[in-house]
């Protein structure tokens, strides 16, 4: 098993009456009214400390991601954070999950920046390439929902071709035309870092990932029971196409909270969990699935992305409901271990991304959660799936340069 | 008068033809078109109506080679050629109004008279619009209809359909909106404001007084830019005024065309 510490970097001081005063945490939540840069300064630095700490205590990877105009995820540019982390960490892989592909113009900017991160970090980069949420792409950044997927696929093709080509080439795409494709630098991992695709609930993504050997990551905050339908769909496609059923080709995100006892977990974490589900995921339904964003095939299959689920969620979710439904796995290390064992078996997922900071969880509790997960949970599951070869996380770090100066802690 | 109904495949376009008399090209709005379309039928009592299904409404793949409003204008000019309509009255509602205006601005000689019913295609900072894509499905009737509890609005909602048929209706609606979105997102003016002056057709602009998608105040933006254009604002009409006030609009058009 591989363990990756996933950080969303939410804004930690969303107003308690957010739901009464505004219609959404995303897109049109007025930045001048709600965002205090002094709070942001403290939060960014604490969050980077937490990611660095996860490296120090032995996580396989540390994850950052991209979102725009919102209080849910505070990194419009995850590459800036990954660059800071490249200098302050030494062994964890840098899982950028990822660069929202349709928003980079031309897309070869992703080839350049990811290559910079890979070279800088000594080959530790995981190159995540999501389509992006509708809030980010359509509403915040003005992309057409009708052509978004086509533009996305074309752009990923351009980026990977740029990394693999032996010579500069011309690219005559529908969305990008370039006379000379020859991005510098090139990645340290040859020909390129592993590519992870966070699925947004589209059935077409499965076969595309399998055929291109991309890792398929299902990002849901609604528990593994609900995610089973999606992951079963993925594994069916893997089998249909005769590819290897390898748990390391699949990723899943789970919110986890470790405590002395199951009851103690509620004391420590329930407030932050409520903040996460009631404020960070407070989405206006009119922003989650614009026409053209979901394919007819996905709609017929009744598939909903995580954002559609969030928008439809009840605001009065209790801690026990979150636990029961598996939204959060919390409690004594044995409880957590047992449920994660079940989760990874049920979904057959070898890349477990754990959200150990969520909502407005204070820094000291987050550090504690990270430390306890690393020392009391991860070791018990570490050997699971060891019979498989993981081709989707970067291999041994190249000792081309000291990866960090005065590294981390 | 006998209705003549036929379907023609012209470069894979599904076209509904109905009625007899002088031809009128009718370009439907965001919710697509069927043979039961009230304005189509009201117009067909006095004219020979040619109503093509807009690209993407039946099949998203039909949009593959239509990247912008210029491609769209060329596509519709081809369609006029295929039907040997050299100089014809064009009526367009909502998204169809945008197409009609672009067609008349790109090819002024092809359009004899132009009727724009709650057309999309302009953006006025002072007016804004209702944001067609920024609503959840349950909110849509309230955005589109003047009175979402009216008989015609309730019938169109598909509330009495079987669940599977409801999903298909929703997919069809999403498909139509997605097709329009390709040409109106994030803001609907793709240069029409600077082309409107090219229109030579006699023009009638019709609006529902209670349009919550594009306010009736936009009528002025069209009539100011199109030389000699007239306006008719109908009370008790929302953005789907072509359905809500179809008989009156057909009457207005009949009068306008025969002048």
Q: Chain B contacts of A311, Cβ < 8 Å?
A: 136
What is the torsion angle, in degrees rounded to the nearest 10, for the CA atoms of residue A136, residue A137, residue A139 and residue A143? 160
Entry pTM: 0.94
Instruction: Looking at the complex, report in whole angstroms how far the Cα of residue A197 sits from the nearest Cα belonging to chain B.
Output: 24
> How far away is chain B from the Cα of A168, in angstroms, using its nearest Cα?
28
Q: Considering Cα of A302, then A303, then A308, then A312, what sign does the dihedral take? A: positive
pLDDT at B11: 56
pLDDT class of A27 with cuts at 50, 70, 90: very high
Contacts of A174 in chain B (CB under 8 A): 67
CA distance A89 to chain B (A): 41
Are residues A42 and A16 in contact, defined by beta-carbon separation less than 8 angstroms?
A: no
For this complex, say whether ipTM is above 0.85: yes
CB contact under 8 A, A145 and B174: no
pLDDT tens-digit series, residues A225-265: 888 988 999 999 999 999 999 999 999 999 999 999 999 99
Chain A positions in Cβ-Cβ contact with residue B179 (cut-off 8 Å): 146
User: Which positions in chain B touch A296 (Cβ < 8 Å)?
Assistant: 60, 171, 174-175
* Cα–Cα nearest to B43, from B59, B22, B72, B62: B22
Q: Is the pLDDT of residue A300 over 90?
A: no
Give the CATH class of B6-258.
alpha beta
- Confidence (pLDDT) at A409: 41
pLDDT in tens, B58-80: 999 999 999 999 999 999 999 99
Residues B100 and B77: beta-carbon distance below 8 Å: no
Q: Supply the pLDDT for residue A103.
A: 98
State yes or no: pLDDT of A295 exceeds 90. no
CB contact under 8 A, A291 and B133: yes
Cα nearest neighbour of A285 on chain B: B136
In order along its 259 residues, chain B shows pLDDT tens digits of 333 333 333 456 899 999 999 999 999 999 999 999 999 999 999 999 999 999 999 999 999 999 999 999 999 999 999 999 999 999 999 999 999 999 999 999 999 999 999 999 999 999 999 999 999 989 999 999 999 999 999 999 888 899 889 889 999 999 999 999 999 999 999 999 999 999 999 999 999 999 999 999 999 999 999 999 999 999 999 999 999 999 999 999 999 999 8
Q: What is the dihedral of CA B106, B108, B110, B116, to 10 degrees?
A: 80
3-state class of B88 per DSSP? Answer: strand
Ordered by where they begin, the domains of chain A are 2-381 (3.20.20.30)
Pairing of strands B6-10, B13-18: antiparallel
User: What is the distance between the alpha carbons of residues A131 and A85, in angstroms, rounded to a whole number?
Assistant: 24
Asked if the Cβ–Cβ distance from B174 to A292 is below 8 Å, we say yes
Closest by Cα among A22, A4, A10, A44 to A273? A10
The mean pLDDT value of chain A amounts to 94
Name chain B contacts of A138, Cβ cutoff 8 Å: 133, 185
pLDDT tens per residue, range A135-158: 999 999 999 999 999 999 999 999
* pLDDT score recorded for residue A200: 67
| Of A142, A286, A300, Cβ closest to residue B167 | A300
Among B167, B177, B186, the residue with its CB nearest the CB of A291 is B177
Confidence band of A203 (pLDDT split at 50, 70, 90) = confident
Domain boundaries, chain B: 6-258
């Amino acid at each position: 098993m591989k363990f990756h510490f996933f950080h969303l970097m939410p804004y930690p001081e969303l107003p308690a009456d957010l739901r009464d005063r505004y219609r959404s945490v995303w897109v049109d939540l007025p930045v001048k009214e709600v965002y205090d840069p002094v709070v942001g300064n403290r939060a960014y630095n604490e969050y980077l400390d937490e990611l660095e700490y996860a490296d120090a205590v032995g996580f396989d990877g540390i994850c950052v991601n991209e979102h725009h105009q919102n209080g849910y995820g505070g990194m419009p540019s995850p590459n800036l954070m990954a660059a800071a982390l490249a200098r302050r960490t030494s062994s964890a892989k840098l899982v950028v999950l990822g660069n929202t592909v349709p928003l980079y113009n031309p897309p070869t900017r992703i080839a350049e920046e990811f290559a910079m991160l890979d070279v800088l970090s000594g080959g530790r980069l995981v190159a995540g390439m999501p389509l992006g949420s509708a809030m980010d792409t359509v509403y915040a950044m003005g992309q057409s929902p009708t052509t978004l997927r086509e533009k996305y696929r074309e752009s990923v093709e351009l980026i990977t071709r740029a990394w693999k080509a032996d010579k500069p080439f011309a690219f005559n795409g529908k969305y990008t035309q370039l006379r000379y494709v020859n991005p510098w630098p090139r990645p340290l991992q040859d020909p390129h870092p592993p590519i992870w695709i966070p699925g947004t609930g589209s059935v077409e993504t499965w076969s595309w990932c399998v055929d291109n050997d991309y890792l398929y990551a299902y990002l849901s905050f609604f528990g593994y029971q609900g995610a089973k339908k999606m992951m079963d769909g993925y594994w069916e496609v893997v089998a249909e196409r005769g590819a290897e059923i390898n748990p390391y080709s699949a990723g899943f995100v789970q919110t986890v909270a470790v405590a002395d006892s199951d009851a103690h977990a509620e004391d420590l974490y329930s407030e932050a969990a409520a903040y996460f589900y009631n404020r960070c995921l407070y989405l206006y339904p009119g922003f989650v699935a614009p026409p053209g964003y979901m394919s007819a095939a996905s709609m017929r299959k009744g598939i909903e992305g995580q954002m559609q689920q969030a928008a439809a969620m009840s605001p009065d979710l209790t801690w026990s409901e979150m636990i029961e439904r598996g939204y959060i796995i919390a409690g004594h290390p044995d409880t957590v271990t047992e449920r994660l064992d079940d989760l990874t078996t049920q979904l057959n997922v070898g890349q477990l991304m754990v959200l150990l900071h969520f909502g407005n969880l204070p820094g000291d509790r987050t550090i504690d959660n990270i430390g306890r997960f690393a020392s009391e949970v991860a070791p018990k599951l570490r050997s699971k799936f060891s019979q498989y070869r993981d081709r989707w996380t970067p291999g041994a770090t190249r000792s081309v340069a000291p990866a960090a100066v005065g590294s981390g802690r | 008068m006998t209705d003549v109904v036929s379907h023609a495949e012209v470069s894979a376009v599904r076209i509904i033809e109905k009625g007899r008399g002088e031809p009128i090209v009718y370009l439907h709005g965001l919710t697509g078109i069927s043979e039961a379309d009230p304005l189509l039928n009201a117009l067909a009592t006095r004219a020979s109506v040619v109503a093509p299904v807009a690209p993407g409404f039946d099949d998203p793949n039909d949009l593959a080679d239509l990247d912008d409003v210029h491609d769209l204008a060329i596509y519709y000019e081809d369609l006029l050629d295929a039907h040997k309509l050299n100089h014809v009255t064009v009526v367009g509602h909502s998204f169809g109004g945008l197409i009609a205006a672009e067609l008349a601005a790109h090819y002024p000689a092809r359009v004899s008279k132009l009727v724009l019913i709650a057309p999309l295609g302009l953006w006025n900072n002072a007016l804004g619009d209702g944001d067609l894509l920024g609503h959840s499905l349950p909110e849509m009737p309230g955005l589109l209809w003047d009175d979402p509890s009216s008989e015609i609005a309730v019938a169109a909602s598909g509330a009495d359909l079987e669940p599977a048929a409801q999903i298909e209706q929703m997919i069809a609606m999403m498909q139509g909106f997605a097709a329009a979105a390709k040409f109106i997102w994030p803001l609907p003016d793709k240069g029409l404001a600077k082309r409107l002056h090219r229109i030579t057709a006699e023009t009638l602009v019709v609006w529902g007084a209670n349009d919550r998608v594009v306010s009736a105040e936009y009528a002025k933006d069209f009539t100011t830019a199109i030389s000699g254009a007239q306006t008719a604002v109908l009370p008790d009409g929302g953005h789907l005024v072509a359905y809500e006030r179809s008989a009156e609009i057909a009457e207005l058009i009949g009068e306008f065309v025969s002048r």
